[in-house]
């Protein structure tokens, strides 16, 4: 019988996708359970078919009002704790690391979950006093290491050998001709201005490329009011998969859809703003990107310190367009019609 392993990855879509190489390798040695946001249920059949999902929207992962404790689903949280404790996990793991109070370490809230479910062995990155929740502390990677490197370190602790990110093998290309241009992101500070995205789509169409504009729900009206008649607004990860499957390349902000496209085999071009390419470049050997303007406060987490997030707002379409065009020419078979 395989040891029972619980993994806590409670954050965004991109974070979950980055965990994919680890999850695929772990099922060979462990009975794997993942506690994650509910959209992990859509990812599971496609990306990690051997993993069991416990869906949970952790209130501290919300963008706003995360510490309005009176709004936390306390009864749901208690039931989840009881259900997980009843599983009697041999090992519980949280490989998340973050900057907090000027120091790099694990997330104490996630580490507390490992403690309260009474897993026999609890593994993660300590932070300040949260190491008391762990039975084994992981060595921190260098500060600018990709988030995937945390999974490699966790894998080494569990006897799972993962290759460096540059040696990961991409899913087979589908030879599709469509440019999937996604203008959304979970954090508003990471969104390149929509007018720039509209101009970029127009330039690509002038070169006779087939462009599918995809956006978040709150952007749909803007696109339609500005002349986009073929905008797609997927409501679920399954809907997003169906669009990615018809794409030859993906162009977008630093966001979950880009990571999902990369793991599905589509080369990606990312417009970075407040986040770091070193941490969040999509896991595809042909991924490319352009960085936003320099700022002494990078990387930002949730909020910008300035009235205007100039790192991405001041990145002009004239700067992005030549790089994006070369990227598309490289990957769309036979070039434009």
Angle at 332 between CA 330 and CA 337, to 5 degrees: 115
Nearest to 36, CA basis, from 24, 25, 27, 23:
23
> pLDDT value at position 142?
87
Q: What b/e string do you get for 159-168 counting C-beta neighbours within 10 Å, with b at 16 or more?
A: ebebeebeeb
> pLDDT value at position 204?
96
- Domain annotation covers residue 201: yes
**Domain boundary residue among 167, 187, 211?**
167
What CATH number has the domain bearing residue 36?
A: 3.40.50.2000
Are 158 and 78 within one domain?
yes
Are 152 and 15 within one domain?
yes
> pLDDT value at position 101?
57
Q: Which domain holds residue 104?
A: 4-167
pLDDT tens profile 164-207:
998 888 887 777 889 999 999 988 889 999 999 999 999 999 99
> pLDDT value at position 99?
63
Give the span between the Cα atoms of 125 and 138, in whole angstroms: 5
Helix, strand or coil, per DSSP, at residue 172: coil
Give the span between the Cα atoms of 190 and 31, in whole angstroms: 36
Q: Count how many domains the chain has.
A: 2
> pLDDT value at position 78?
92
Contact of 192 with 183, CB cutoff 8 Å: yes
- Residues in the chain predicted with pLDDT less than 70, given as ranges, are 99-103, 105, 130, 301-302, 333-337
Give the span between the Cα atoms of 129 and 42, in whole angstroms: 35
> pLDDT value at position 337?
46
Are 185 and 163 within one domain?
no
pLDDT tens profile 79-100:
999 999 999 999 999 998 876 6
Give the span between the Cα atoms of 94 and 13, in whole angstroms: 16
- Domain annotation covers residue 172: no
User: Rounded to 10 degrees, what is the CA torsion of 194, 197, 202, 205?
Assistant: -140
């Amino acid at each position: 019988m395989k040891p029972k392993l619980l993994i806590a990855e409670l954050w965004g879509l991109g974070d979950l996708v980055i965990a994919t190489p680890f999850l695929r390798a772990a099922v060979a040695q462990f009975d794997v359970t993942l506690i994650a946001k509910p959209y992990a249920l859509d990812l599971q059949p496609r990306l990690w078919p051997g993993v069991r999902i416990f869906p949970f929207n952790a209130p501290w992962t919300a963008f706003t009002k995360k510490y309005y404790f009176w709004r936390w689903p306390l009864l749901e949280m208690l039931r989840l704790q009881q259900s997980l404790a009843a599983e009697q996990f041999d090992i519980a793991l949280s490989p998340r690391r973050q900057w907090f109070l000027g120091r790099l370490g694990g997330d104490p809230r996630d580490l507390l979950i490992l403690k309260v479910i009474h897993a026999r062995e609890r593994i993660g990155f300590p932070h300040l006093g949260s190491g008391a929740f762990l039975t084994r502390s992981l060595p921190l990677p260098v500060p600018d290491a990709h988030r995937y490197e945390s999974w490699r370190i966790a894998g080494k602790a569990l006897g799972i050998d993962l290759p460096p990110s540059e040696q990961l093998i991409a899913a087979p290309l589908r030879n599709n001709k469509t440019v999937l241009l996604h203008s959304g992101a979970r954090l508003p500070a990471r969104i390149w201005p929509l007018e720039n995205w509209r101009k970029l789509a127009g330039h690509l169409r002038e070169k006779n490329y087939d462009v599918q504009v995809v956006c978040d729900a709150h952007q749909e009206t803007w696109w339609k009011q500005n002349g986009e008649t073929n905008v797609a607004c997927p409501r679920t990860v399954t809907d997003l998969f169906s669009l990615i499957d018809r794409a030859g390349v993906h162009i977008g902000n630093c966001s979950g859809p880009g990571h999902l496209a990369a793991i599905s085999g589509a080369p990606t071009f990312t417009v970075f703003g407040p986040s770091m390419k070193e941490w969040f470049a999509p896991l595809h050997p042909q991924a490319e990107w352009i960085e936003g303007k320099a700022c002494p406060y990078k990387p930002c987490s949730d909020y910008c310190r300035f009235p205007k997030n100039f790192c991405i707002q001041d990145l002009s379409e004239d700067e992005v367009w030549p790089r994006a065009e070369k990227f598309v020419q490289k990957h769309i078979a036979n070039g434009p019609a």
